[in-house]
Structure 1
Amino acid sequence: MLQINIRDKRDIFTVNTMSTSMKELEFQRMLLQVQESLTADEVQDMVFLCSDHIAAKDLSTVSAGRQLFLLLENRDLLSSEDPWLLLELLRIMKQNSLIRNLHFDAFTQTDFSTFPQRVSRYRKLLYEVSESICDQDLKNIKFLLIKTLSRRKLEKEMTLLQLFLEMEKEDLLNEDNLDVLREIISKIHPGLEKRVIQYKTESSGGMVIAQETGINSSDTDTPAPPSPLTSVDTMEDQVDRLSLSRASEISGGTVGNVQNNIMYQSLTENPEIPQYEMTGDRRGVCLIINNRDFSACTLGNREGTDIDKASLEAVFQWLGFEVVVEQDCDHMRMLQVLRELASRDHTPVDCVVCCVLSHGRVEGIAGVDGETVTVRELTETLSPMWCPSLFQKPKLFFIQACRGTREQRAVFGQTFPEDEDSPVSDAAVPRDSIPEAADYLLATSTVPHHVSYREKGKGSWFIQSLCRNLKLLVPRGTDLLSILTQVNGDVSRKTDKSGLRKQMPQPEYTLTKRVVFPPPKTQPPPP
């Protein structure tokens, strides 16, 4: 067996009492052992990691380890005197047991950073990303690229690393251009986005420009990248700290929404902030998904939801929208109707609205079959990537559903029976929130992890307050975010007859302008 000694932490190797020919033979046996230990996918991983050193046309024919090793040897990148690249590849791929079996123990005990490293940080980053992506994530990534790469390529069986190589061919990805990768990863695996940002920061010398301030800061104290969305964590913490009995005394929806209200006040007080254009031939489509009948699963029927549906239908028709109602959708149908909406030409319209009335769980909105769809899956369907005619137009989502099972209460310890007049919960919407793309608004009936309420004879607290304030404030020229602030205030003051149950809605948005509906010329619909 080949015995390798590392001396002075340099790539100087000596083979004890062994002729040159025997040394070469032993090295080739070692390469054969490596080949037999690797799967076909692991060989392709090696191919990807070596793609900076060997032409793509040569690597395209590699299907076995020996072929790759021969290419590396022919380019003086691998030899018995210099096995460093092979060892680096095995280490990146976490093949530590194989390294030990090859009697490279001394290598694993040495400071690897002092030795020549031929695999770029960029390749290592992409490999790290690929290791965290499952098969379903890969399918989703292909779907996101369906209008960017050819369908023929995307329909081929390939690993994520092979897909990265295709993106590089199309100049969609390289070590200086990670924008497309970051955009995709943020939708599929948000946690990995931080790793991409870290790479970009380190590649720029560890210095970043703090957004808005223009102040340089080192990598060690770089703040997390600002999100265009409202902080749900901050909001929920504020809600939990405030007494809900005190909430009834607070107007303007300030409970847990202080930062948003500052934003709203600046919007309404500064007339220079632009508005989205509302001068199209038509206002747009308002899609209402009304899930009432849950008899096909274990969830209860949603009595009172038809009152919400009728209120929304009347108000948005009054505002000039074409209202489309979809009744009792299972999880697949919910996605399908959004895709059908995305397939329309929205060029002549101003915006689009989607209202979802359903049960909700922490992990998503429930269809009438009991299966869930995440908010992100619904909202991203209308992104400009899939619906170009909605580019730079507001996409407004209003969700009446629970976001968990916690109840917000004014006091604790008292219980009461259900009756026809008691509000019921829609508990059965996820933390993934809206996509990080411009021109979205997501108004949910409650903060994360908490239930929202619906009265069987009056409809839900959130939707009824929304419709009432649209009728009241749109004729006054009030922008939509200010209207939602008023909704926050109204709902925060509501309670059931026992005085125990409370609710706090939450708007999140990536709007870049104010949404101001033109005042209709007709009178608002009756309550």
Structure 2
Amino acid sequence: MWFRQEGEVNISVLLTLKEMLVYHLYANNSIVSYSRASFLCEQEMEFQQVLLRVQESLTGDEVQDMVFLCSDLLSPKDLSTVTLGRQLFSLLENRDLLSSEDPSLLLELLRIIKRNSLLRNLHSDAFTQANSMLYAQRISPYRQLLYELSESICDQDLKNIKFLLIKTLPRKKLEKDMTLLQLFLEMEKEDLLGEDNLDVLKDIIASIHPGLEKRIIQYKTESCEFGGRVIAQEIGINSSKSDTTALPSPLTSVSSVDAMGEQVDRLSLTEGATGISGDHSQHSEFNSVFEEESTDLPVTENPEIQQYKMKGDRRGVCVIINNYDFGACRMKNREGTDIDKNRLEVVFQWLGFEVLAEQDCDRMRILQVLRDLAARDHTLADCVVCCVLSHGREDGVVGVDGKTVTFKELIETLSPYQCSSLYQKPKLFFIQACRGTREQRAVFSQNFLEDEDMPVSDAAVPRDSIPEAADYLLAMSTVPSYVSFREKEKGSWFIQSLCHNLQQLVPRGTDLLSILTQVNSDVSKKTDRSGLKKQMPQPEFTLTKRVVFPVPKTRLPLP
């Protein structure tokens, strides 16, 4: 990028580069308007200016700290020549680890090295306002542990550590002016230190700084307790290889990370590993990790959970994407889906939403509908709702053309980065689609022939994941790997139960997660005429407050 060039840059050159980039974006992407291309270009240039300001604020030691933290992400050869912040940022950008669309790694690095003042100064920048809630944990807990230890080791302790290693590591290297982080890297090269190899370090630390030994023991204990699950989730690998009939345990939680010296929330997930023909939605799980930056915070017994504000001039927009006709891709049409759509329209209009229904959308149309929704001004609205009724796969929902829109793509369209007026407002997704092809069955088994009155599954192959973000709810019709059921004459079990419980419980002031818990209970009790087919919905969320819809002035008759 232009900011990496040494010396002064003539403004006319910058304008020429901008015009070229705008034209390139416009000419090579039919869905990007010229004005949008211009906006993206300005956004990118603004981001590079932010990186320059960050570089100017970092000391040489801080740059080396960040280099160490990134040693799992970049090659040692590349990192060996890094002395300036801009060099590191360039490497990260070249590896698609840092961009104007996802600056979360930069925020994470600044948080770890405790540059909170710099983070607060960045808070006024457009990219940070939009993404301060997005926080991808790319720096491993192991790497953070080593950095934490280095911050607590004084110069004399470092000399003592080098002395204890004098017969293990080359003397020439130990005699150099080597920092503790550089020493850790040398120990890793000699296979004396690693994520699962902390014994040597623990023994050395125990003799030098006994208090820090407890921190290493704590890390090892936590790693054993989690059994590597956290790592498997973050790299998108399903750690379970057994094909048992036991239900996956639903993990529904909010996790907190200090991104701007304050609490933010993050969501992590697991994607399915095997592609099976059928209606899959995404195999995703929420990972609960709470980090406390300060132990001085007051502790309150039974604190009252705050609620999102629901007193705006408008409740918001509810978009319903209703896919019925799959003839173009030779998948079964979704009989009964119109019953779900009509019921959702009635209920969400009753709740005060402006309802927009879209019929039979292919992949591009689904994305465009959500882009149009993001382009609206939601300043006066309380929240936004998106209901998707379609076939599904492990990684997302299926358009009528048979192509998948991943859950990542669905959610990113409504991120505060794409729509700043939705910042800190709940974004609610209700997904009626399968997440696999396995059927949950009752404990007994019988053989029944399927007929026209039997419920059918919405089932179609896995791949992607949900991005990390706060203030999201995904109310999924089923748990990972299993199908959802839809009755041709009555609609789907999940959507009908959702609408019924909204009508029953909103007037009582019940919050949305409690309503979805009741939906879980109701749907879990449903079965087909044979008594064989079962279903278990699963809400997944990063809501930071309770969602309580105001009581409508009128009541709807129950169907």
Q: CA offsets per residue over residues 82-115 of structure 1, 9 Å max, x none?
A: xxxxxxxxxxxxxxxxxxxxxxxxxxxxxxxxxx
Whether contact under 8 Å (1:431, 1:448) holds in the other structure is no
Match of 1:482 in 2: 514
Give the match for residue 455 of structure 2.
Answer: 423
Equivalent residue, structure 2, for 1:199: 143
Q: Secondary structure at the match of 2:415?
A: coil
The aligned residue for residue 483 of structure 2 is 451
Kindly provide the amino acid, as one letter, of the partner of residue 205 in structure 1: L
Matched to 2:372, the amino acid is E
Query: CA offsets, 1:245-271, max 9 Å, x none?
Result: xxxxxxxxxx956977xxxxxxxx968
Structure 2 segments unaligned to the other structure (5+ residues): 10-62, 76-89, 113-118, 120-126, 153-212, 254-300
- Corresponding position of 1:367: 399
Maintained 8 Å contact 2:252/2:541: no
Work out whether residues 69 and 147 of structure 2, in 8 Å CA contact, stay in contact via their aligned partners in 1.
no
Q: Decide which of 287, 291, 309 is 2:319's aligned counterpart.
A: 287
Partner of 1:398: 430
Q: Decide whether aligned partners of structure 1 residues 461 and 195 sit closer, same or farther in structure 2, where only a CA change above 3 A counts.
A: same
Percent identity of paired positions between Structure 1 and Structure 2: 60
Matches within 5 A, 1:259-408: 272-408=304-440
Give 2:525's aligned residue: 493
Deviation at 1:469, TM superposition (A): 0.4
Once the 2 structures are TM-superposed, how far is the Cα of residue 374 of structure 1 from its aligned partner? 1.1
Q: Read off the aligned partner of 2:379 and give its amino acid letter.
A: T
Tell me, in whole angstroms, the C-alpha distance in 2 between the residues paired with 1:205 and 1:349.
47
**SS in structure 1 of the partner of residue 543 of structure 2:** coil
User: For residue 93 of structure 2, what is the aligned residue in structure 1?
Assistant: 160
Asked if structure 1 preserves the Cα contact closer than 8 Å seen for 2:440 and 2:482, the reply is yes
Alignment of 1:65-76 (within 5 A): none
TM-score (norm 1): 0.58
Give the Å deviation of 1:273: 1.5
After superposition, the C-alpha distances for 1:365-392 in whole angstroms (9 at most, x for unaligned) are: 1110001111121012111111111111
Q: Tell me, in whole angstroms, the C-alpha distance in 2 between the residues paired with 1:360 and 1:522.
A: 35
Q: 1:158 to 1:226 in 2, by over 3 A?
A: closer
Q: Which amino acid aligns with 2:436?
A: G
SS of 2:215's equivalent in the other structure is strand
SS at the partner of 2:329?
coil
Q: Whole-Å Cα distance in 2 between the matches of residues 484 and 175 of structure 1?
A: 33
Find the residue that maps to 2:369 and give its secondary structure. Answer: helix
What's the Cα RMSD here?
4.6
- Letter of the 2:215 partner, please give it: S
3-state DSSP class of the match of 2:410? helix
Structure 1 residue 160 displacement after superposition:
3.4
CA distance in 2, matches of 1:204, 1:198: 10
For 2:493, the aligned partner's letter is W
Q: Assess if the C-alpha contact under 8 Å between 2:366 and 2:399 holds in 1.
A: yes
Q: Aligned residues, how many?
A: 357
After TM superposition, the structure 1 = structure 2 runs for residues 404-415 of structure 1, keeping only pairs within 5 Å, are 404-411=436-443, 414-415=446-447
The alpha carbon displacement at 1:130 in A equals 5.7
Tell me, which stretches of 5 or more residues in structure 1 are unaligned?
1-43, 45-54, 61-118, 132-156, 209-214, 243-254, 261-268
Aligned partner letter, 1:203: Y
CA distance in 1, matches of 2:427, 2:107: 32
Is the Cα–Cα contact under 8 Å of residues 375 and 429 in structure 1 kept in the other structure?
no
Q: d(CA) in 2 for partners of 1:513 and 1:174?
A: 24
Preserved contact between residue 201 and residue 207 of structure 1 (Cα < 8 Å): no
Contact 2:322 2:360 in 1 (8 A): yes
Determine helix, strand or coil for the equivalent of 1:356: strand
Measure the CA separation in 1 of the matches of 2:443 and 2:397: 29
Q: Distance in 2 between matches of 1:437 and 1:283?
A: 22
CA 467–289 in structure 1, closer or farther in 2 if over 3 Å, else same: same
1:512 to 522, 530, 544: 544
User: Aligned-pair distance for 1:163?
Assistant: 7.3
Superposition pairs of residues 433-452 of structure 1, within 5 angstroms: 434-452=466-484
Measured in 2, the distance between the counterparts of 1:443 and 1:428 equals 19
Change (3 A) 1:299 1:412: farther
Q: Distance in 1 between matches of 2:308 and 2:107?
A: 36
State the partner residue of 1:217.
Answer: 215
SS in 1 for 2:522: helix
What is the DSSP-based 3-state SS (H/G/I as helix, E as strand, rest coil) of the residue aligned with 1:446?
A: coil
Helix, strand or coil at the partner of 1:322: strand
2:2 aligned with 1:57: no
Tell me which residue corresponds to 2:22: none
Cα distance change, pair 498–272 in 1 and its aligned pair in 2 (3 A): same
Is contact 1:285-1:321 (8 Å) kept? yes
Amino acid corresponding to residue 360 of structure 1 in structure 2: G
Counterpart secondary structure, 1:217: helix
Deviation at 1:233, TM superposition (A): 8.8
Q: Distance between the aligned counterparts of 1:467 and 1:498, measured in 2?
A: 25
Deviation at 1:364, TM superposition (A): 2.0
Alpha-carbon shift at residue 362 of structure 1 (Å) = 1.4
Change (3 A) 1:484 1:171: closer
Mapped partners of 1:286, 1:413: distance in 2: 41
CA distance in 2, matches of 1:207, 1:490: 53
- Is the contact made by 2:310 and 2:549 (CA closer than 8 Å) also made in structure 1? yes
Secondary structure at 1:129 match in 2: coil
Q: Distance in 1 between matches of 2:109 and 2:150?
A: 15
Aligned 8 A contact 2:397 2:406 in 1: yes
Q: Tell me how far 1:456 sits from its aligned partner.
A: 0.4
Partners of 1:121 and 1:420 in 2: CA distance: 65
Conserved? CA contact 1:236–1:447, under 8 Å: no
Q: Is the 8 A contact 2:439 2:533 kept in 1?
A: yes
Aligned AA (1:459): G
1:437 CA displacement? 1.6
Aligned partner of 1:275: which letter? Q
The 1:442/1:176 distance shift into structure 2, 3 A limit, reads: closer
